[in-house]
Structure 1
Amino acid sequence: MDFSLFYFDGDGSVAQPNKYRLLLESAKFADQNGFSAVWIPERHFHAFGGLYPNPSVVNAALAMATEKVQLRAGSVVLPLHHPVRIAEEWAVVDNLSNGRVAIAFASGWTMDEFILSRDLHTHRKQTMWRGVKALQQLWKGEGVEYADASGRAVEAKILPKPIQPELPIWITCQSPETFIEAGKMGANVLTSLLGGTLEEVAPKIKLYRQYLEKSGHDPDSKKVTLMIHTFLGEETETVKEKVRQPFCNYLKTHYDLLENLAKGMGLDVSLKNFSEDDLDSLLLFGVEGFMKGRSLIGTPETCVPFIAKLEEIGINEVACLIDFVQDFDTVMESLPYLQKLHQVC
């Protein structure tokens, strides 16, 4: 099992120094302790998560602070950008890092983000698949034709030439259809348990492996990466006490995760109608279940059986989301325990 670090949160709304301290120091830890990668998201218009509007810019900084760890986007929302611009930016980072970049692509989520796009939100899936194909061609040095403002066809090629001859690609997947398409094209997969249980994800992974083989790709050569909330320590109850309130605060800022939590508890409700007290009661009741079945929260020893379950269904990398706990010292003190789990798995 490979281990990587994943970043998703962080308050970008306050003007203060050292906003990226946790990112930089934990990325250095990953680099020095055999982790496979760090993942930087693309998030727009969120106070929490507002540290990461552009993963290529952040990874350019990490290229200067690390030496070995792969620098990944988790994910680039492809319909919000021109493929040439994405290829150019990441070719720069590939050179700065001496060939260590990789990109997970996503089709996008909220309507608000699509103020940045020339394409309709309803067409986002088709736009993503077209863009991935174009990016693969551009990365290899091939020309791709686009129309300028007058309608004239222009063949675009990118500079600087990337270090890696091919761009390592992941597709962010939740639906069975996306797993199938990722298998057909031979891409790696990035998924999560935010929208379902391990039992619900397992058949999608099986489907993905089947379509890899049907399409002439070696199923064993591709990665299924699971993004998962992670916090480890010396003793389980102490870990839960440290995590419970930060986890509740984190979920309060992500209504989509709260809705999934409510559905998992058998509640078909609109959380926008909940009072603060109702939300607090829901969270205190539901977070315990979330921590058990959808996270790596506990000690290295208690998490080993869950890692074994992940391996059984074909997951071969865990991307450990660590910044839902916002305290720098608390997170950094937990990382040696994660390293211990890494060593035994």
Structure 2
Amino acid sequence: MDLTVMFFGADGDRDATSHLATYDDILAITRAADDLGFTAVWTPERHFQHVGQVFPSPAVLSAALAVTTRQIAIRAGSVVLPLHHPLRVAEDWAVVDNLSRGRAGLSVATGWHSTDFVLAPDRFAGRRQEALDGITLLRDLWAGEPVELPDGTGRRVAVLPQPRPVSPRLPLWLTSSGNPATWEDAGRLRTNVLGATIGQSRVDLVDKIRRYREAYRAAPDQRGAAPDGIVTLMAHTYVGADDAEAVRRVRAPLRTYLTSHVAQLAAVPDRDGRAGVLSARQVESLAEYAMRRYLRWGSVVGSAARCRDALCDLAELGCDEVACFVDFGLDRADILAGLRRLAELRKDLPA
């Protein structure tokens, strides 16, 4: 099993000074993950929200991470493809691939928050199909296949993005928030799949991984696809000195994070444009329930022994890689200490 580091963004009211500190933390934590031998680092794409305030452009941040590291893979988790032209995504990530000497990879997301789509309002309704269609185009562009597109006069011209990437194949994931159809789409397109443990049961994930594997085996060969797909699961992670110490450190920041997450989900408009209305007490209650459930199963929080068991359990249900979500409110010192303990567990994990 591979272990990677996932940034997703802690909550809070931030000013410019604290944003500077957050970027310093990201750089320091990524350099430590590189030195400790973690497989990859992921940064998300988030817009206009409290959670993830410092992540509007994974390509820009990944360029910085590429030149400050030596061996760790540099990935977007995720690029909201309907917000961008695939040609521009190919250009940006080819730059990252060059700066990292061939370590770039990305996960494609459809997007879910309507406010994000002020950047591309005409694409919100059809965002799912836009994302799926864009994967094939991304692969063609990465492989050096010119595509014909209309220019400013409406004339169709053949274009090929520059610079050319170092790696001949772009490692691609498809991000799923839980919809089984998305797991099947990832298999059909022969991408890897990026999911999460939170909000799902072990039984749910076993079924989705089965669907993904079956679809992948049945799909025809596709340009840039590996023979076998990778299942990557995101999980909040902190390895403490013991179980009690770990829970004590994560309880407050995790609850704050989940409270913000619940409130954000409730505020997303439905198809009729109406957003849910929850009282502060309801949000707090749901967040507390989610935290208690998550600490029982799905998170990687606790002593080294407990975290080892949690990782082995994820491997047993078919997970190839865990994206360890570390920046949910812990300070830099705690995150680095947890990463060092986590790195020591790798020798005991399934190959």
User: What is the Cα deviation at residue 220 of structure 1?
Assistant: 6.9
SS in 1 for 2:126: helix
Match for 2:46 among 43, 47, 62? 43
> Which residue number corresponds to residue 182 of structure 2?
178
Deviation of 1:341 (Å):
2.2
Range that drifts further, 51-60 or 187-196: 187-196
Whether 1:203 aligns to 2:225 is no
Call closer, same or farther: CA 1:91–1:299 in 2, change over 3 Å.
same
1:9 alignment partner AA: G
Q: Which of the numbers 310, 319, 334 marks the counterpart of 2:338?
A: 334
The structure 1 residue matched to 2:234, chosen from 227, 233, 241, is 227
How many percent of aligned residue pairs carry the same amino acid? Answer: 37
> What is the CA–CA distance in structure 1 between the aligned matches of 2:160 and 2:73, rounded to whole Å?
25
Q: Against the structure 1 CA distance between its residues 166 and 286, is the aligned structure 2 distance closer, same or farther, given a 3 Å change threshold?
A: closer
Q: Distance in 2 between matches of 1:107 and 1:41?
A: 13
2:16 match: 15
Q: TM-score, normalised by structure 2?
A: 0.89
Q: C-alpha displacement at 1:273, in angstroms? A: 2.8
SS at match of 1:253: helix
3-state DSSP class of the match of 2:153?
coil
Q: Is the 8 A contact 2:195 2:232 kept in 1?
A: yes
Residue equivalent to 1:318: 322
1:138 paired residue among 128, 133, 141: 141
Q: Which residue of 1 aligns with 2:217?
A: 213
Distance in 2 of aligned mates of 1:79 and 1:116:
10
Q: 1:88 aligns with which of 88, 91, 111?
A: 91
CA distance change for structure 1 residues 219 and 197 in 2, over 3 Å: closer, same or farther?
A: farther
Distance 1:48 1:292 in 2: 24
State whether structure 2 residue 62 is matched by structure 1 residue 59.
Answer: yes
CA distance in 2, matches of 1:205, 1:219: 17
SS of residue matched to 1:273:
coil
TM-score by length of 1: 0.91
Secondary structure of 1:160's aligned partner: coil
Structure 2, unaligned runs of 5 or more? 267-274
Q: Distance in 1 between matches of 2:298 and 2:212?
A: 21
- Distance in 2 separating the partners of 1:143 and 1:233: 51
CA–CA distance in 2 between the matches of 1:257 and 1:47? 9
Shift, 1:80, TM fit: 0.1
2:269 aligned partner: none
User: Structure 2 vs 1, CA of residues 117 and 106 (structure 1 numbering), >3 Å: closer, same or farther?
Assistant: same
Aligned partner letter, 1:317 = E
SS at match of 1:221: coil
Q: Which amino acid aligns with 1:92?
A: V
Q: Distance in 1 between matches of 2:262 and 2:284?
A: 13
Counterpart in 1 of 2:158?
155
After superposing the two structures, state which structure 1 stretch, 62-71 or 125-134, moved more.
Answer: 125-134
Counterparts of 1:204 and 1:45 in 2: how far apart (Å)? 31
C-alpha contact 1:304 1:341 (8 A) present in aligned 2: yes
Q: Is the 8 A contact 1:12 1:48 kept in 2?
A: no
RMSD: 2.1
* 282-291 or 168-177, larger mean C-alpha shift: 282-291
CA distance in 2, matches of 1:330, 1:224: 28
Report if the CA contact (8 A) 1:299-1:337 is conserved.
Answer: no
| Displacement after TM superposition at 1:320 (Å) | 0.2
- Bigger shift: 44-53 or 68-77? 44-53
Q: 2:2 is matched with which residue?
A: 2
1:3 aligned partner, one-letter code: L
TM-superposition CA deviations, 1:238-284 (whole Å, max 9, x none) = 1111111111111122126877xxxxxxxxxx9843234x5445544
Q: Which amino acid aligns with 1:231?
A: Y
User: What is residue 167 of structure 1 aligned with on the other side?
Assistant: 170
Cα distance per residue 1:82-120 (max 9 Å; x no partner): 111110111011000000000100011111111112643
- Aligned to 1:225, the other structure's residue is in SS state strand
> Which amino acid letter does the alignment assign opposite residue 274 of structure 1?
S
Closer, same or farther: CA 118–88 of 1 in aligned 2, 3 Å: farther
Tell me which of 298, 302, 306 is aligned to 2:306: 302
Q: Which moved more, 1:188-197 or 1:216-225?
A: 216-225
Contact 2:262 2:283 in 1 (8 A): no
Match of 1:247 among 246, 254, 260: 254
Inter-partner Cα distance in structure 1 for 2:52 and 2:215 = 34
Q: Indicate whether 1:187 and 2:191 are aligned.
A: yes
SS at the partner of 1:150? coil
Residue 311 of structure 1 aligns with an amino acid whose one-letter code is: A
Using the alignment, how far apart are the partners of 2:276 and 2:129 within structure 1?
A: 31
Structure 1 residue 40: Cα displacement: 0.5
Amino acid at match of 2:159: A
Q: CA shift at 1:166, angstroms?
A: 1.3
Deviations 1:16-37 (A, max 9, x none): 1322122111111211112110
Q: Distance in 2 between matches of 1:300 and 1:202?
A: 25
Does the C-alpha gap of structure 1 residues 180 and 275 become closer, same or farther in structure 2, counting only changes over 3 Å? closer
